[in-house]
Amino acid sequence: MKTQVAIIGAGPAGLLLGHLLRAEGVDCVVLERQTGDYVLSRIRAGVLEGVTVGLMRRLGLDARLKAEGLVEEGFNLADGERLIRIDVAALTGRTVTVYGQTEVTKDLMDAAQERQLQVIYEAGDVALHDIESDAPFVTYSHQGNPQRLDARFIIGCDGFHGPSRKAIPASAVREYERVYPFGWLGILADVPPCNHELIYANHARGFALASMRSHTRSRYYVDVPLSERIEDWPDDRIWDELAIRLGPEAAAGMTRGPSIEKSIAPLRSYVFEPMRHGSLLLCGDSAHIVPPTGAKGLNLAASDVHYAVEALAGWFRHHDADAIAGYSAKALARVWKSERFSWSLTRLMHRFPEDGPFERAMQVAELDYIASSRAAQTSIAENYVGLPL
Ligand code: FAS
Ligand code: PHB
C-alpha cells in the first residue's frame, strides 16, 4: 500500500493530524495497535486549551464540544486555609473548556469513515524503515498477514511507549527526564462536581484535584506514593482523603458515589529532541510528557499537530523543505514552555518526600505572592489557557 503520510497511533494526536491532512488534500493512513474501543476506554485529559478547541472547530467537528463542553473562566488553588481563584477570563480574555479526551477522540473516530480517513486498527508489530531516505516505509501485521505501507513521511503519534522515537539513531538524540516520587490516583464517578471550577489543593496530607467531565460526572485525583496499589484504595478511602485535602468548603459540596473508573498514573517530565529526523516527525506523547498538573499533555499534542500540518501542507503544496526542517525547533519552543509551567505547578502544589521546612516555606510564600499579585496570577493564567502558537 502507498500513501503520502503514514501516521502511527490513533490517539488524539494521530486522529487530529489525519483529519487535518485530509482537509488539506494530503493522503494519509493511520496505523493503530489497539482496537478503537480500547483507545476510547483510556480515561485521560479533561481540560482543553483554545488551541485544541480551535482545531476541532477548523475541522467542523466541534458540535458536541460546543453543546457539552463546559467553558471555564477560572480555576482555584487551595492550600488548606483559603481558595485562590485565578480569573483566567479577566486576566487573559480567554477561557478553557472542560471536555474529556475520550470525547475528543470519539468525535474524531466517528468522523473518520465519512471523511475517508483510513484508520487501520489492530495493526501489530509496527516497524519503521529507511526514515533517513525520501522513501521511508512501515511494516506491520494485520489479521495475521504481514503488510507494508510506503509513504513520503512517517509521523510518530504513538505515545510514550510507541516505536517511533526509538527509530531515531541514538547519536542524533538528546533526552531530558524528571520522574516524580508520586503518582496520581484518579477516580471517575457519576456525581455532580463539588465546585463549578477546578480546584488544585496542596494539603499537609498531599495533593488533590477536583475536576469534572459534565454537570453530572466528576473526576478527582489525589497523589499517592508510587508503592500504592489501586486495590488498597476502596472508594470510601478515596472520598475521605479528597474531603480532607480539598478542605471543608469543597467537602461540603462533594457528592460521593461509586467509581466507574479508578487508576494510578505515574508522573514524569520528559522531552525528546529532535522532533524530526529525516522523513520522520514526532507529535504528542511520542516526544514529550508533562505531569498532568498543568493540563498540558493533550493540548501540547494539539499544538505539535498544528505545526506538523503547516509543515507537511507546505511541503506537498510547494515542496517547501524549510517548513519540514523548521518543524522540530518550532514545536519544541512551545513544548519547553509547557514543560516549565507543568513542572512549576507540580512543584508548588505537591509535598515532595525530600522537601524540608525551607521548601515548604517557599511554597507558602509563593502561594501568598500569587494571592496578592495580579502579575503573578496573570502569568499563571496565560500559561493555563495556553501560550500563543
Ligand atoms: P496517546 O498515548 O494518547 O496515543 C498514542 C496511540 O498510539 C495509542 O492509541 C496507542 O495505542 C498507539 N500506539 C502505541 N504504540 C503503537 C504501536 N507500536 N503501533 C501502533 N500504534 C501504537 N493529559 C492531560 O492534559 N491531563 C490529564 O489529566 C492527563 N492524564 C493522563 C493519564 C494517563 C494515565 C496518561 C498515560 C496520560 C495522561 N495525560 C493527561 C496525557 C495524555 O492526555 C496525553 O497527553 C495524550 O494522550 C497525548 O496524545 P497522543 O500523543 O495521541 O498519545
Ligand atoms: C482532568 O479533568 O482529568 C484533569 C484536569 C486538569 C488537570 C489534570 C486532569 O490538570
In order along the chain (389 residues), what is the average pLDDT of each group of 10 residues? 97 98 97 96 93 98 98 95 95 98 97 96 98 98 97 98 97 98 98 97 97 97 97 98 96 97 97 98 98 96 98 95 96 98 98 96 97 98 96
Distance (Å) from CA 11 to ligand 1 centroid: 6
Residue 203 three-state SS? strand
**Could you say which ligand is closest to the alpha carbon of residue 213?**
2
Distance (Å) from CA 157 to ligand 2 centroid: 21
Q: How distant, in Å, are the alpha carbons of 198, 219, 230, 259, 297 from that of 45? A: 13, 10, 19, 17, 7
Instruction: Give the position, in ligand 1's atom list, of the atom nearest the Cα of 101.
Output: 43
**Could you say which ligand is closest to the alpha carbon of residue 72?**
2
Residue 51 is predicted with a pLDDT of 97
Residue 248 is predicted with a pLDDT of 92
* Rounded distance between C-alpha atoms, residue 209 and residue 366, angstroms: 19
Residue 180 is predicted with a pLDDT of 98
Distance (Å) from CA 103 to ligand 1 centroid: 14
**Could you say which ligand is closest to the alpha carbon of residue 187?**
2
Instruction: Give the position, in ligand 1's atom list, of the atom nearest the Cα of 160.
Output: 2
C-alpha cell recorded at residue 126 = 509496527
Domain borders along the chain are 5-72+95-176+268-345, 180-267+351-385
Residue 127 is predicted with a pLDDT of 98
Q: Could you name the CATH architecture of 180-267+351-385?
A: 2-Layer Sandwich (3.30)
Distance (Å) from CA 6 to ligand 1 centroid: 18
Tell me if 46 CB under 6 Å of ligand 2: yes
Residue 267 is predicted with a pLDDT of 97
**Residues whose beta carbon lies within 6 Å of some atom of ligand 1:** 8-14, 31-34, 39, 44-46, 101, 123, 126, 157-159, 161-163, 265, 284-285, 292, 295-298, 301
Is the fold of 5-72+95-176+268-345 the same as that of 180-267+351-385?
no
* Rounded distance between C-alpha atoms, residue 64 and residue 354, angstroms: 45
Distance (Å) from CA 152 to ligand 2 centroid: 37
Per-residue burial over 246-257, b = 16 or more CB atoms within 10 Å of its CB, e = otherwise? bbeebbeebeee
Q: Could you name the CATH architecture of 5-72+95-176+268-345?
A: 3-Layer(bba) Sandwich (3.50)
The pLDDT tens digits for 165-176 are 999 999 999 999
Instruction: Give the position, in ligand 2's atom list, of the atom nearest the Cα of 294.
Output: 10
Residue 328 is predicted with a pLDDT of 98
C-alpha cell recorded at residue 225 = 506514593
Distance (Å) from CA 338 to ligand 1 centroid: 17
Residue 81 is predicted with a pLDDT of 83
pTM for the full model? Answer: 0.96
Q: What is the dihedral of CA 232, 266, 348, 186, to 10 degrees?
A: -50
Q: How far is CA 197 from the centre of its chain?
A: 19
Residue 272 three-state SS? strand
Residue 149 is predicted with a pLDDT of 98
Give the residue whose CA is nearest to atom 29 of ligand 1.
Answer: 45
Residue 43 is predicted with a pLDDT of 86
Instruction: Give the position, in ligand 1's atom list, of the atom nearest the Cα of 296.
Output: 25
The pLDDT tens digits for 34-70 are 999 999 998 899 999 999 999 999 999 999 999 999 9
The pLDDT tens digits for 260-300 are 999 999 999 999 999 999 999 999 999 999 999 989 999 99
